[in-house]
Structure formats: C-alpha cells, structure tokens
C-alpha cells in the first residue's frame, strides 16, 4: 500500500506538496488552522496563482483530504510534513513560532515523524529533538521556485533528506516517497540538511548581487552584461543560471534566508562579511533606476511614471519583497505620480501600494506617462505594440529593469532605452 502523507500548513509549500504527492497516487491528509482556507480548498478553490496547481487539486481531489483537525492527520499518517512559514522577525532571525505551535500539537511517540519542509535555522532540528525525544525528525528542505513549483516538485534536481541516528526508518520512508521522482537523493545529518538550504539560497543571491555589480561596472566601461554573463556562464564551474542582471532579487525567500543566515552566523559569533555586501548591493540596485530616469527627465516632481509588472517575478502574484514596493516609494519620494500594471498581482498589490494608481492594461499605464520602468518580465511585455505605445506617452523613456526587451527594437520604436549594464 502507498504511504499516506500528512501535511501541516497548507500555504504555498504545503499545497504544492499535498497536491503533488496526491498526483503520485498517495492519499494526503492536509491540515491548516485556518478553517476558511480548509473550506475553500475542500471545495477545490485555490486562491493564489501558481501554474498547474489548481488543476492538480481538482484532478486529485479524491486523494486530498483537507481538515483543521490534527487528530485526523495523526490517525491517518505517520509522516507529518511541516510546511508552515517562518517569516523574518524585526531582527532578521527566522520567526519559529508557527513551527513551535505545530510541534506542541504533536504526540511524543515513536509512531510519527516530523518532516521539516519549512526553512529553519541550523540547530532547530536538534532542539526539537531534545524537546520531543520520542518523535522522529527529518529535515527535508524545500527548493521549489514560485511560478514553476509543480514542475520543480515533480522533477527535482536533488532531494535533501537529513536525519540523525535512530530516525533512519523515517528518513527511509521519506526517501521512498521521493525516489520515484528521479533526481539525486542526498542523505545527510539534520544540521547539514538545514545548512544546505540556507547556503543554497545565499549562494544564488550572491550570484545575483555579483552579476549586478558587474553590470554596474559594464555601464562604466561600455560593456554589455548580457554578453559577459553568456560568456561566463559557459564555464561549467560557473554555470549560466542566476546570472541575469537587473534591479535585484525579491520574494519571500532570498531576502529572508540571506538575512537569516547572516543572523545565524552572527549569533554564533561569526561575522559573515560577504552576505552584508550581497544585501547592500541588492538594496542599492533598485535605487539606481531612479538615476536612469532623471538622466532623461530631470526632476521627477509631477512626472507620471508607469511600473510595468509589480510581482517580485513573473508567473506569480506574490508581492513579498517585490522591487516595485521600494521603487514606488522612491518615485513618490521624488515627487512623481506612479501608475502600476500587473497581469495577475493587482489584488495582492493594492493593499501594499495604496497610494498608486492601477491600470488595467499596459496601454492604460503608459498613456500620458513621462517614463516607464519594466519591473517584472511578464512574457506579455515582449509582444506589445511598442511603437504605438511610445506615441501615446508624453515622453517615451523606458528603463528595462530586467534586460528583457531588445534595446535596438525599443530605440527603433521611438524609446530612449536604458537597460541594466548594457
Ligand atoms: C528561491 C529559490 O530559487 C528556490 O530554490 C527556493 O526553494 C525558494 O527561493 C525558497 O527558498 O522557497 P523563488 O524565491 O521562488 O525561489 O524565486 P527565484 O526564481 O529564485 O527568484 C528570486 C529572485 O531573484 C527574483 O526576484 C528574481 O527576479 C531574481 N533573479 C533571479 C535575478 O534577479 N536574476 C537571476 O538571474 C535570477
């Protein structure tokens, strides 16, 4: 018989985990304290944007049991995947209160295992293990990317499974769940598994800040960073991914995990210098866009600036740590009027950006604008009728914050075009 899976916390990670395991033929008992969410999911409603997820939930509804009753989950499954969020506290440490609430509700018995998907600082597993010596503990960090989470889950590069002596049965059971998906299984201890997650995200963020600094130097010397990244990326020791220069990384993971690793190091007395710079470069990168606008427009007081894309990256409506938040605040601080357009994130953005105007199409955002910033590289922006849009603007200035558009084509369409590092 196939292993039944328990999932605690059906946010983004929890729901992707539940739906994907269900699609592989497992019965899944997914629990959340939010009863309204449980009711929505039970009726097949998925309220956030993640390609392919709503379809999986509908298709495998028969195997997906949503509940707010932990006892029901415990009665039906021995593996409990903890998928609650660990947002940053004011100090930059990870807030573990939701994880601890889950732990408090679990029995300290030998029949169940807690499988930690939530991103937690190194050392969390051993402290939970001390508190609950009976319960088995497995660290199985999440490497999904928003916008391609379902595909990432079903075709992983690697799956990290960390367990300490005594808990091998649980690590074996988790391995058996993931093995059919392919991808290398990395069996290790709990502490190393926790570090693999934080170090991976911090390294990817470092790659982005690195290429962003190279882009800034390219602007000084007249080189093109997209060519530089292409040439660098072909060295397989470097690799071509995560070398796209732009206005910096955002989202719910990189900013939080880089600062959590920095804090974790600091708490144990180690000053992680490199990560300080990674964070600072990322902050400054968003602000450089303003200079590119003023170069063409002079003072921004009273100017109308359009933001194309508001979500932190395409194919998601997630606004957490989105560059658009800092940009709109900076633009308004300079006295500009801001109008924003995003194909899916409008609802998520409206509460966070109460003082900007929202347009319902790129054309509406650009009409009468003095300048535009491409913030999120939604594919629809590639195929716009740019010559017609340029004609509708008061002055056709565009800062392409993701190096997404073709500079020559944009110039031919009548734009003063500024990219990042090209
Ligand atoms: C990231 C990691 O890629 C996942 O492996 C990890 O599981 C996840 O965090 C997490 O910890 O939960 P995600 O935040 O969804 O995933 O998004 P990414 O696609 O990694 O992009 C992050 C940010 O970096 C975006 O703002 C993106 O625009 C930016 N980015 C990415 C660049 O500026 N340049 C690049 O070359 C790549």
Strand pairing category for 357-358 and 337-341: parallel
Token representation of residue 52: 């392919």
pLDDT tens digits for 240-296? 999 999 999 999 899 999 999 999 999 999 999 999 999 999 999 999 999 999 999
- The segments of the chain whose pLDDT lies below 70 read none
Give me the phi and psi of 73, to 5 degrees please. -65, -45
* CA-based nearest residue to 415, from 393, 392, 390: 390
Give the Å distance between the CA of 406 and the centre of ligand 1.
23
* CA-based nearest residue to 304, from 341, 271, 274: 341
Looking from the CA of residue 251, the nearest atom of ligand 1 is 14
Fold of 254-418: Rossmann fold (3.40.50)
Ligand 1 pocket, 312 CB below 6 A? Answer: yes
Q: CATH class for domain 5-188?
A: alpha beta
Cα distances from 85 to residues 19, 202, 362, in angstroms, run: 18, 18, 34
Nearest CA to ligand 1 atom 5: 143
Ligand 1 pocket, 275 CB below 6 A? Answer: no
What pLDDT, on a 0 to 100 scale, did the predictor assign at position 252?
A: 87
What pLDDT, on a 0 to 100 scale, did the predictor assign at position 414?
A: 98
Host H or E run for residue 371: strand 371-374
HSE value, Cβ hemisphere, 13 Å, CA-based, for 308 = 27
What pLDDT, on a 0 to 100 scale, did the predictor assign at position 92?
A: 77
Q: How many Cβ atoms sit within 10 Å of the Cβ of residue 335?
A: 11
Question: Residues of 377-414 as b/e, b for ≥16 C-beta within 10 angstroms?
Answer: bbeebeebebeebbeebeebbbbbbbbbbebeebeebe
Host H or E run for residue 418: strand 416-418
Spatial contact of 117 and 141, defined as CB atoms under 8 Å apart: yes
Rounded to whole angstroms, the Cα distance separating 89 from 99 reads 14
Long-range Cβ pairs for the range 400-408 (8 Å, 24+): 400/374, 401/246, 401/247, 401/289, 401/323, 401/373, 401/374, 401/375, 402/244, 402/246, 402/247, 402/374, 402/375, 402/376, 402/377, 403/225, 403/226, 403/244, 403/245, 403/246, 404/374, 404/377, 405/374, 405/381
3-class state of residue 277 by DSSP: helix
Active site residue 140: no
Ligand 1 pocket, 253 CB below 6 A? Answer: yes
Q: How many Cβ atoms sit within 10 Å of the Cβ of residue 322?
A: 26
Give the Å distance between the CA of 392 and the centre of ligand 1.
34
Strand order in the sheet with 357-358: 357-358, 337-341, 304-308, 371-374, 397-400, 416-418
Q: Report the predicted TM-score, pTM, of the whole model to 2 decimal places.
A: 0.93
3-class state of residue 130 by DSSP: helix
* CA-based nearest residue to 182, from 152, 204, 145: 152
Nearest CA to ligand 1 atom 29: 249
3-class state of residue 51 by DSSP: coil
The per-residue DSSP string of 324-348 comes to: HHHHHHHHHHTT-EEEEE-SS-HHH
What pLDDT, on a 0 to 100 scale, did the predictor assign at position 88?
A: 84
* Same fold yes or no, 5-188 and 254-418: yes
Token representation of residue 404: 């997404």
Ligand 1 pocket, 243 CB below 6 A? Answer: yes
3-class state of residue 199 by DSSP: helix
Rounded to whole angstroms, the Cα distance separating 312 from 308 reads 12
Token representation of residue 28: 């899944």
Ligand 1 pocket, 14 CB below 6 A? Answer: no
Token representation of residue 294: 């003023």
Give the Å distance between the CA of 254 and the centre of ligand 1.
7
Place of tokens 């992983």: 156
Rounded to whole angstroms, the Cα distance separating 86 from 83 reads 9
* CA-based nearest residue to 379, from 305, 307, 309, 286: 309
Token representation of residue 127: 């402290």
Domain ranges of the chain: 5-188, 254-418
Q: How many Cβ atoms sit within 10 Å of the Cβ of residue 236?
A: 7
């Amino acid at each position: 018989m196939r292993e039944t899976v328990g999932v605690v916390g059906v946010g983004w990670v929890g729901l992707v985990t539940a739906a994907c395991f269900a699609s592989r033929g497992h019965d899944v008992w997914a629990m959340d304290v939010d009863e309204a969410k449980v009711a929505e999911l039970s009726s097949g409603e998925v309220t956030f944007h993640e390609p392919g997820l709503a379809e999986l939930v509908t298709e495998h509804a028969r195997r997906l049991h949503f509940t707010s009753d932990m006892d029901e989950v415990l009665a039906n499954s021995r593996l409990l995947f903890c998928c609650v969020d660990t947002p940053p506290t004011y100090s930059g440490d990870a807030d573990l209160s939701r994880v601890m609430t889950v732990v408090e509700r679990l029995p300290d018995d030998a029949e169940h295992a807690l499988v930690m998907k939530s991103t937690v600082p190194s050392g969390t597993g051993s402290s939970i293990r001390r508190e609950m010596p009976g319960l088995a503990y497995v660290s199985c960090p999440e490497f999904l990317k928003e916008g391609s989470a379902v595909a990432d889950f079903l075709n992983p590069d690697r799956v990290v499974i960390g367990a300490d002596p005594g808990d091998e049965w649980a690590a074996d059971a988790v391995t058996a769940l993931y093995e059919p998906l392919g991808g290398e299984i990395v069996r290790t201890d709990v502490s190393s598994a926790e570090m693999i997650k934080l170090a991976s995200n911090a390294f990817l963020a470092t790659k982005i800040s690195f290429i962003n600094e190279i882009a800034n130097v390219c602007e000084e010397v007249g080189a093109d960073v997209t060519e530089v990244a292409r040439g660098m990326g072909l060295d397989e020791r470097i690799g071509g991914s995560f070398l796209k220069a732009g206005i910096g990384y955002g989202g719910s993971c990189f900013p939080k995990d880089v600062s959590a690793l920095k804090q974790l190091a600091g708490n144990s007395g180690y000053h992680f210098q490199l990560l300080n710079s990674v964070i600072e470069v990322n902050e400054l990168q968003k602000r450089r866009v303003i200079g590119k606008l003023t170069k063409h427009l002079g003072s921004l007081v009273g100017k109308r600036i359009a933001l194309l894309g508001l979500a932190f990256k395409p194919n998601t409506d997630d606004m957490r740590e989105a560059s658009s938040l800092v940009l709109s605040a900076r633009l308004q601080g300079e006295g500009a009027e801001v109008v924003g357009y995003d194909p899916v994130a409008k609802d998520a953005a409206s509460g966070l950006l109460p003082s900007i105007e929202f347009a319902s199409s790129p054309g509406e955002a650009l009409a009468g604008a003095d300048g535009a910033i491409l913030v999120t590289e939604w594919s629809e922006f590639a195929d716009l009728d740019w010559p017609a849009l340029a004609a509708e603007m008061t002055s056709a200035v565009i800062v392409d914050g993701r190096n997404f558009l073709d500079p020559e084509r944009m110039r031919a369409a009548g734009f003063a075009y500024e990219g990042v590092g090209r």
